Structure 1
């Protein structure tokens, strides 16, 4: 029961953060500004983003539930809060403010935080650490997409 409660809490927070991020991105990928950008040839179709983020947040919520049960520390919560802020703010910085370089820095920092979770807590979670890999892999892809837009626009 302890896992289920923690999982639901992290699920609500994570999907809430995604929702806030979506509200902060103005027209987002459907807007004229984004449509006119030179995008990387490996940019996925729009539907992939929704499917990816749904899977990522379910896995990340499970990861955070396991981690919080094992290590309910201020450090874990602080890293988690920083991750949430960086995740939500990227949409605002990139799509709303159109600050591609700042968004690139934002997503690099987010990737570092997620990699830090994996690195720091791998010994605690062992094979359960694999639950954060979809997030880290997606962030590497997203960082490359942001970098491409920075370089070619």
Structure 2
């Protein structure tokens, strides 16, 4: 049990660090037209910290509730696929400065969170509940991403320097 906690917690910390490192808030971002209902910039880091802690908790609860290797394999696949899409969104939005591409990638990110929620919930009701904040935040992020794209397009041809 302790191993699962350390592994899940460590992965959450690494993902949080990668997300932060690939999300430079520059004048490019500040100059984007954003909706009034966007949360303040300072909220995103703490929100992701809580969300990743919840996801790590869900992973541990799912791992500990799994009764066979097939269920654990499903958990590893679901969280591994989600990690790939989690890591992919920020570089598209902030580094490539392509919120339009990030919005397309968001579809896959959202689907991976939803699938992970279902995989965890199959073995642990409480674990499934711990995934709900992640699913809610990524859903909100998609709406925000779309609002930014609509207010600022086109992005093609803009210099990302």
* Secondary structure, aligned partner of 1:135: helix
2:131 matched residue in structure 1? 132
> Residues 74 and 123 of structure 1: is their aligned pair in 2 closer, same or farther, counting only changes over 3 Å?
closer
Kindly indicate whether structure 1 or structure 2 has the higher relative contact order, using CA contacts under 8 Å at least 6 residues apart.
Answer: 1
Extract structure 1 runs of 4+ deviating beyond 6 A: none
Q: Which stretches in structure 2 are left out of the alignment for 5+ residues?
A: 153-161
Aligned to 1:11: 9
122-131 or 67-76, which moves further after superposition?
67-76
Larger radius of gyration: 2
1:151 aligns to what?
Answer: 150
Cα offset, 1:24, TM superposition: 2.5
**Aligned mate of 2:58, from 59, 63, 67:** 63
Contact 1:14 1:84 in 2 (8 A): no
Q: Distance in 2 between matches of 1:76 and 1:121?
A: 7
Q: TM-score, normalised by structure 1?
A: 0.88
Pairing 1:45-124 to 2, within 5 Å after superposition: 45-71=40-66, 72=69, 73-124=72-123
SS where residue 47 of structure 1 aligns? helix
Shift of 1:150: 1.0
Q: Structure 1: state its 5+ residue gaps.
A: none
- For residue 121 of structure 1, report the CA deviation from its aligned partner: 3.6
TM-score under structure 2 length normalisation: 0.84
Structure 1, residues 69-119: CA drift from partner, whole Å, max 9, x if none? 333533321221111111112111100001112101112211111111223
